[in-house]
Amino acid sequence: MKTMIRILRSVLLGGFVLAQTSFLAAADQDGPWEPLFNGKDLAGWVPVHDVKFEVKEGHLQLVRGMGWLRTEKEYGDFVLELEWRALVNQYDSGVFIRSGKDGKPWPDGGWQVNLRYDRLCGLVKGYKAIVPSETEKKPLNQWVKLRLEVKGKKVTCFVEGEKAWEYSELDRDKGFIGFQAEEKAFDFRNIRVRELK
């Protein structure tokens, strides 16, 4: 009986070690989490057109303007996590993914997850709604968690940890991440990205 228990214990321990090794190997296939905002200044970001973004109380704050703030670096496959909150009524902004530089005030044909009060978290390409919004309007000054998983032609959107939608026809392999400015005040924080290999 003791021999059987020892054998069973060894098998279970071996299975646990194998599972942990597989999990760590899978995690190593993706890059580490990289903060996109340091809470102090706009290092790593480029304002595009007539916009004003600033750092206030450790948050990236959209103050005014018609344009966007983009990363210095382009990204292909990645997971983006952030929190946002609207500061004014009838708020309107957006998160760009895999966007090019051309276009004014925003990227021509850019992919955007909408942060407009009545179209919240819908997917837009240029000015055309691609995936309609099913996310309810959020109150002012309430932090909302957003996660975007972008891999190949697919983007998946999660709001507050719940899957909102998935779309599988992205037409750009690489581009900038950015925030849309549309004359409405917003705060962003805890902005981080993990590149996928």
pLDDT tens per residue, range 96-122: 999 999 999 999 989 999 999 999 999
Classified by CATH at the fold level, domain 36-196 comes out as Jelly Rolls (2.60.120)
Q: How confident is the model at residue 197 (pLDDT cuts 50, 70, 90)?
A: confident
Task: Read off the pLDDT of residues 16-48 as tens digits, 9 standing for 90 and up.
Answer: 433 444 444 444 467 799 999 999 999 999 999
- Cβ-Cβ contacts under 8 Å for 24 (sequence gap 6 or more): none
The one-character DSSP state at 57 is T
Strand partners, 55: 60
> In the predicted model, is pLDDT for residue 81 greater than 60?
yes
* Six token digits for residue 78: 């990645």
Given a contact cutoff of 8 angstroms between Cβ atoms, the answer to whether 92 and 116 are in contact is yes
- How far is 88 from 48, CA to CA, in rounded Å? 22
Q: Would you kindly state where each structural domain of the chain is located, as residue ranges?
A: 1-31, 36-196
* Six token digits for residue 128: 């055309």
